[in-house]
């Protein structure tokens, strides 16, 4: 009989979380470590990553910090050359330039594309090669509800997130026969450093909160459950998916409650 108590057990697994120094990446690192994984906390901000490592160790988990810049192709290749035994990859970093498309410069377009789309491509393909050779592994990227629905000023960001989702679906199809799963998570509005400029605007913050069915923003730790699910045996038959964690944002039609 299958031991259901081990559904979320990650004991003995090695996971790399890119962007682990803050926000959703930090929460993902904590979630994976809490379920037994040894977590490599990769970030440009090595000091931030080290603090997360210290917190994980203080909680009884296992982790180490590594410098990581997903914009540097050679550095990404070098890192993954030393990670032949990687079981889980979680890619979280993204940037946004909020501008109408007619006002977006090519430099701004390239900056968002280079990190969000090309950087993610580097990570998932490098991890995919290693996992294909081992015949197992789980790749998890963070897309967004913006992969499905947009608003003014989000065109380039939304395009990258839709691209991330489609790359994941394609890689899932290509690596499925080799025992490797590839999935994306689609958060709604999460209280992180990326969304801090919105949170500083009271009306904007409230409008986003009121759009969701739960009437609030998410906290980073609320994304960790989806990560652990997709990394563990609990998600062993999930691949090519977009797991939406948006408080009902994409389920609720419009921002107006009709008089009933």
Tens-level pLDDT at each residue, the chain (260 residues): 899 999 999 999 999 999 999 999 999 999 999 999 999 999 999 999 999 999 999 999 999 999 999 999 999 999 999 999 999 999 999 999 999 999 999 999 999 999 999 999 999 999 999 999 999 999 999 999 999 999 999 999 999 999 999 999 999 999 999 999 999 999 999 998 878 888 899 999 999 999 999 999 999 999 999 999 999 999 999 999 999 999 999 999 876 666 77
pLDDT value of position 197: 86
Is residue 2 annotated as a catalytic residue, yes or no?
no
Please state whether beta strands 88-91 and 38-43 pair in parallel, antiparallel, or not at all (unpaired).
unpaired
Check 2, 157, 208, 229 and give the catalytic one: 157
pLDDT value of position 9: 98
120-134 helix and 155-175 helix, angle to the nearest 10 degrees: 10
Domains and CATH numbers, the chain: 4-192+220-245 (3.40.50.720)
| Distance separating alpha carbons of residues 122 and 124, to the nearest angstrom | 6
pLDDT value of position 259: 75
The H-or-E segment that residue 82 falls in is none
pLDDT value of position 255: 66
- In contact, 180 and 132? CB cutoff 8 Å: yes
């Amino acid at each position: 009989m299958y031991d259901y108590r081990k559904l979320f057990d990650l004991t003995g697994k090695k996971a790399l979380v890119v962007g682990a120094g803050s926000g959703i990446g930090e929460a993902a690192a904590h979630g994976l470590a809490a379920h037994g994984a040894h977590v490599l906390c990769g970030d440009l901000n090595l000091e931030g990553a080290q603090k997360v490592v210290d917190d994980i160790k203080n909680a009884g988990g296992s982790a180490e910090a590594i410098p990581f810049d997903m914009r540097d192709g050679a550095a990404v290749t070098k890192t993954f050359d030393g990670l032949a035994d990687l079981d889980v990859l979680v890619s979280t970093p993204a940037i946004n330039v909020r501008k109408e498309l007619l006002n977006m410069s090519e430099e701004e377009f390239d900056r968002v594309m280079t990190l969000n789309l090309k950087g993610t491509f580097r990570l998932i393909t490098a991890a995919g090669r290693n996992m294909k050779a081992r015949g197992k592994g789980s790749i998890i990227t963070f897309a967004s509800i913006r992969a499905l629905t947009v608003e003014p000023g989000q065109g380039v960001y939304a395009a990258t997130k839709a691209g991330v989702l489609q790359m994941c679906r394609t890689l899932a199809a290509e690596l499925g026969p080799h025992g490797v799963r590839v999935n994306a998570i689609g958060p709604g509005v999460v209280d992180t450093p990326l969304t801090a400029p919105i949170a500083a605007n009271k009306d904007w913050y409230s409008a986003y909160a009121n759009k969701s069915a739960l009437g609030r923003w998410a906290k980073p730790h609320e994304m960790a459950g989806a990560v652990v699910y997709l990394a563990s045996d609990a998600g062993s038959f999930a691949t090519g998916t977009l797991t939406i964690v948006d408080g009902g944002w994409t389920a609720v039609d419009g921002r107006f409650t009709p008089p009933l």
